Amino acid sequence: MKTRRDLIAIALCTILASAGCGGSGGGSGTVTPPNKNITISGTLMAGSVDALARFAESAASPFAADQLYCVTFSSPPVSGSATADNSGNVSLTLAALNVPFGCFILSPSSTGAATLFFNASSTSGETVTFGGDANLGTITVDTSTGMATATLPQGGSLTGTPAGVACPVGTWSVTIGTYTCDSSCTNGCTVGSTQTGTSTVWIAQSATDQYTASFTHIGCNSGSQSDVPATYTGGVFTLGPWSEPDATCSHSVTAMVTPNGACTSTTSATSSWTNCGSCGTGDNVCVGCGTLTCNGTIETMSKQ
């Protein structure tokens, strides 16, 4: 049975590499030289992350005993982890010179604690390439949102998903709809302002007819999740269910997505929420806690 850590590696490798993950069978063939090592270092600090901008607002205490876990998008993929010391300092050597890779913060029990975002000026991303050793400095970890953030150092660059992956595998940009920021929102938005809910979704095929997905949602209540169960049957991709906590209850959420023939955008994308007090629109499909099931429409979903 695969662990959560195994599935994270599968998700990262499958989504962002044009070749499959894992070992290959016996037989002759060209042997790809191993990638050269780089060292990725930094200091894990517990703190808060601005979910709208994905920048750290504060970093308070060291995140001791947690792990920095990274996996490359090479063929074959290379993964590795390193455990932070009592001061939060961590250093990981990975065969990833000029090779795209992504990272997660794992708890001491090797479960996902946060998705690491690399910030470059006014943009951020989860996949990077370095031409040498990289000191990330302070890595702020916010377990309440599942987000971690670090400043992209000189010599690093944000990278995207290469072409050639099978539908619906890939990185998708999602626009969910607009909402009015109110006092219940936890993303730091200005009360009374009009905001647009967005998500970035990573879809991976972990085995034949088996999929897993991770996504980061930016809206009234923002956060990042990974290892969300998923299926792809009859041209329809079903994501979930996953749990979304509310003040006094938990909502079960499922999204249903139909990609177009070219698998570049969607012809239909909807969501279903349970345990709602009332039904709204846009990013506020489910309001409060109750017994209602509310259905929403995802405005746009396009592959990056």
Q: pLDDT tens-digit profile of 153-162?
A: 999 999 876 5
The amino acid sitting at 51 is A
Q: pLDDT value at position 30?
A: 40
Residue 163 lies in a domain: no
Helix segments in the chain, DSSP class H: 4-16
pLDDT in tens, 164-183: 667 887 778 887 777 788 77
Q: pLDDT value at position 187?
A: 66
Residues 53 and 176 in one domain: no
Q: How many domains does the chain have?
A: 2
CB of 271 closer than 8 Å to CB of 177: no
Residue 188 lies in a domain: yes
Residues 180 and 147 in one domain: no
CB of 258 closer than 8 Å to CB of 279: no
Q: pLDDT value at position 144?
A: 81
Domain boundary among 103, 123, 158: 158
Q: pLDDT value at position 125?
A: 83
Q: pLDDT value at position 51?
A: 62
Domain that holds residue 122: 4-158
Q: pLDDT value at position 12?
A: 43
Q: pLDDT value at position 87?
A: 95
Q: pLDDT value at position 16?
A: 41
Tokens of 13: 């490798």
Q: pLDDT value at position 14?
A: 39
Q: Looking at residue 93, which CATH number applies to its domain?
A: 2.60.40.10
Q: pLDDT value at position 42?
A: 97
Does the predicted TM-score (pTM) go above 0.75? Answer: no
Domain boundary among 110, 135, 158: 158
Residues 194 and 67 in one domain: no
Domain boundary among 130, 158, 186: 158
Greatest Cα-to-Cα distance within the chain, rounded to the nearest angstrom: 65
Measure the CA–CA gap between 232 and 235, rounded to whole angstroms.
6
Helix segments in 118-238, DSSP class H: none
Q: pLDDT value at position 163?
A: 59
In our burial notation (b when 16+ CB lie closer than 10 A, e otherwise), range 132-151 reads eebebebbbbbeebbbbbbb
Could you say which residues of the chain have pLDDT below 50? 1-31, 207
Residue 165 lies in a domain: no
Measure the CA–CA gap between 301 and 267, rounded to whole angstroms.
9
Residues 236 and 142 in one domain: no
